[in-house]
Structure 1
């Protein structure tokens, strides 16, 4: 064992050495600290907000108006549905719970009669309870009057019901020719829809090279049934079965999508197919079908 006196001497010696080392560290580090301080304190351009941050734009109150209309339609005698957050005056509803249920809302138009004021026309899909207790879908439109700035908005009144835009006459599509469902074009279209919508088969078998179309995951349907197929182009008998490479055909297809419960949804596709190696491959899902007269 080391005697106490000797141990104390060793401790004092070590403390002196550590003190000298720390002193030299301070001397050496001082200029560096000054430089770092100057760099840190140097004025710099204000940091830009992250790209993902979206600041409130007072010129676009559509989202607020949609939420206001949804709250107004949801209010009942037991729950104001947060209406006061949009219209502080509030409203006393006498409607029974569940008799009117807004499903979806969408902005149709925005008018600014003066700076800081807007009238937003909102369309809403509503489930309305009938006398037999069943709910039926109904489309309703209302104007929401708002005033505000970048700091926030407030409604000036309750929403005002107005007439929704009228539905125009049905358009005529430019697909005059009927194609056989079990023909070469029909088989390619059916195979594509089955792979794309139901995950049946390999999608790459039915799409042209370098085509950016993927299968929907998870599949929307368990099975797809092709009902009708029409083409924009006219083919001579047997011509579609032996197409020249690079030949294009524009089609519109109507199909049934069967879900896991066997329930059916009717769907339409406007497609462009191109011929390669004697068969038809889908090259594009068109954003809209061809219209007659265009």
Structure 2
């Protein structure tokens, strides 16, 4: 029998060792060479070849990914840093400007220090008139825009009330010859809304807090421009007809919603959650006008379509207060048909604008 180790002397090992080798020795198998099988060597060679090819093929992909990641990292950081201040301090700047305008309208002689709390240079201003002779009412932010990374321009609207300014009614009473003449410029100015633009700088005040300061005194500006209202999805306004099931559904819903008459859930579509106003602000509701989605002003509707049909509408109502005075209100609603009746599916946040009409594509050019 041929031994696995060719150089081993015949007498170098005990018989037990020779028997152990003889039992485990694959004498008839010529696929073992030097302790490795030729099949294993073939598999290993194939594995090494595939590994080498895989590394060769994937290396450009890994290199491109690493380059893209490095490029993203290097460019993303400045973008974040530049855009971060865009929303920083906007709400605080608006409140700061509102307080500044309120103090400015009340200011008079000797109030420089009160204004300097908002605009430090106001300590050297010359102020006239009695402190508190006028004040602002209905102060609200009408416009807020960022002019620089750390500067906000805040426009505050206010109605100015002067303690010593006569009203138009008092002026006419003092001068009967005035009759129904148009109000004077002073009267018109006193009865109008004024707009004050305040530049507010925003910055760190230490300890993680944000600080504010005005860059100048307020500047009175014109009222913000008004735009033309967009077209809506609803048809022309029409009289609400009692025989229309939509009129009945809207009336019952608003009675429960505004006056507390009836259970509100009875008039809501499944899945709709609304809460009646409490305490009820009104004692009565009358639906006057309706504008219905895609309505072409056809014959009055007296039936309810199949289940699941939706209809959006805007209703104008007159509500009666507890003082017996009627005032108008409008509601944009979405209705859904179910079981032969209309239910309220949503109290919409606003009437829905119509989608802009897209121009038809030009005809293809003719070829001779």
SS at match of 2:254: helix
In the aligned structure 2, how far is the partner of 1:258 from the partner of 1:99?
36
Contact persistence 2:90–2:152 (CA under 8 A): no
What is the CA-CA distance between 1:284 and the residue it aligns to?
A: 0.6
Report the equivalent of 2:241. 181
1:126 aligns with 2:180: no
Alignment of 1:1-294 (within 5 A): 57-58=88-89, 61-76=93-108, 82-88=114-120, 89-90=122-123, 92-94=127-129, 97=132, 99-113=134-148, 115-116=149-150, 118-129=151-162, 131-132=166-167, 138-151=192-205, 152-176=211-235, 178=238, 180-182=240-242, 183-234=244-295, 237=299, 240-294=302-356
Higher helix share: 2
Task: Output the TM-score relative to the length of structure 1.
Answer: 0.69
Assess, with a 3 A threshold, how the Cα gap between structure 1 residues 126 and 107 changes in structure 2: closer, same or farther. same
What is the CA-CA distance between 1:133 and the residue it aligns to?
A: 6.3
Contact persistence 1:102–1:127 (CA under 8 A): yes
What is the CA-CA distance between 1:160 and the residue it aligns to?
A: 1.0
Report the equivalent of 2:81. none
SS at match of 2:282: coil
What is the CA-CA distance between 1:75 and the residue it aligns to?
A: 3.0
Contact persistence 2:318–2:329 (CA under 8 A): yes
* Cα deviation digits, residues 110-161 of structure 1 (max 9, x gap): 2243x54x24232313144563267965332222123342212222321111
In the aligned structure 1, how far is the partner of 2:166 from the partner of 2:98?
28
Runs of at least 5 residues in structure 1 that lack an aligned partner in the other structure: 1-56
Assess, with a 3 A threshold, how the Cα gap between structure 1 residues 80 and 209 changes in structure 2: closer, same or farther. farther
Assess, with a 3 A threshold, how the Cα gap between structure 1 residues 209 and 123 changes in structure 2: closer, same or farther. same
Assess, with a 3 A threshold, how the Cα gap between structure 1 residues 97 and 78 changes in structure 2: closer, same or farther. farther
Assess, with a 3 A threshold, how the Cα gap between structure 1 residues 167 and 133 changes in structure 2: closer, same or farther. same
* Cα deviation digits, residues 27-72 of structure 1 (max 9, x gap): xxxxxxxxxxxxxxxxxxxxxxxxxxxxxx5465222122212222
What is the CA-CA distance between 1:81 and the residue it aligns to?
A: 10
SS at match of 2:280: coil
Assess, with a 3 A threshold, how the Cα gap between structure 1 residues 160 and 270 changes in structure 2: closer, same or farther. same
What is the CA-CA distance between 1:243 and the residue it aligns to?
A: 2.3
SS at match of 1:242: coil
Contact persistence 1:233–1:249 (CA under 8 A): no
SS at match of 2:261: coil
Contact persistence 2:106–2:131 (CA under 8 A): no
In the aligned structure 1, how far is the partner of 2:286 from the partner of 2:311?
21
Question: How well do the aligned residues superpose, as a CA RMSD in angstroms?
Answer: 3.1
Task: Output the TM-score relative to the length of structure 2.
Answer: 0.56
Higher strand share: 1
In the aligned structure 2, how far is the partner of 1:194 from the partner of 1:163?
42
In the aligned structure 2, how far is the partner of 1:81 from the partner of 1:211?
55
In the aligned structure 2, how far is the partner of 1:93 from the partner of 1:218?
47
Contact persistence 2:154–2:200 (CA under 8 A): no
Assess, with a 3 A threshold, how the Cα gap between structure 1 residues 81 and 184 changes in structure 2: closer, same or farther. farther
What is the CA-CA distance between 1:76 and the residue it aligns to?
A: 4.8
What is the CA-CA distance between 1:188 and the residue it aligns to?
A: 0.7
